[in-house]
């Protein structure tokens, strides 16, 4: 993709991905789902997950899977509020940009 992805957009995308699973989801799956939308490495996403956890937008818990612990991330009530704000801002932003492209001669 030719457009840069800033921290706020990454946070919004990660929150949207995690919000799709009621009981949360694990890091590798988050990485795969985000990569369906934007090019992004694990080394970029894990700091985003830690930041969202620090900001109390995500809660973290471990669960055993195939004899190993797997770290799960789940959206908190604060995270849901932040996601709603991101969604509202994104829709407004996208509408404005789309209108510019649609007005071309």
**Average pLDDT over all residues of the chain:** 92
Amino acid 94: pLDDT: 92
Domains of the chain: 7-102 (1.10.10.10)
β-bridge mates for residue 72, sequence order:
26, 61
The tokens for 16 are 């949207």
Query: Does residue 104 surpass a pLDDT of 70?
Result: no
Task: Give the separation between CA 76 and CA 98, rounded to whole angstroms.
Answer: 32
pLDDT digits (tens, 9 = 90+) for 8-58: 999 999 999 999 998 899 999 999 999 999 988 888 899 999 999 999 999
């Amino acid at each position: 993709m030719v457009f840069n992805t800033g921290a706020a957009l990454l946070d919004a995308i990660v929150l949207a991905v995690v919000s799709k699973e009621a009981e949360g989801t694990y890091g590798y799956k988050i990485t795969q789902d985000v990569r369906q939308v934007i090019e992004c490495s694990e080394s970029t996403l894990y700091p985003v997950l830690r930041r969202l956890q620090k900001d109390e937008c995500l809660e973290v818990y471990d669960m055993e899977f195939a004899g190993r612990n797997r770290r799960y991330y789940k959206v908190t009530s604060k995270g849901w509020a932040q996601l709603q704000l991101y969604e509202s801002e994104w829709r407004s932003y996208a509408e404005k940009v789309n209108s510019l492209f649609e007005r071309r001669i």
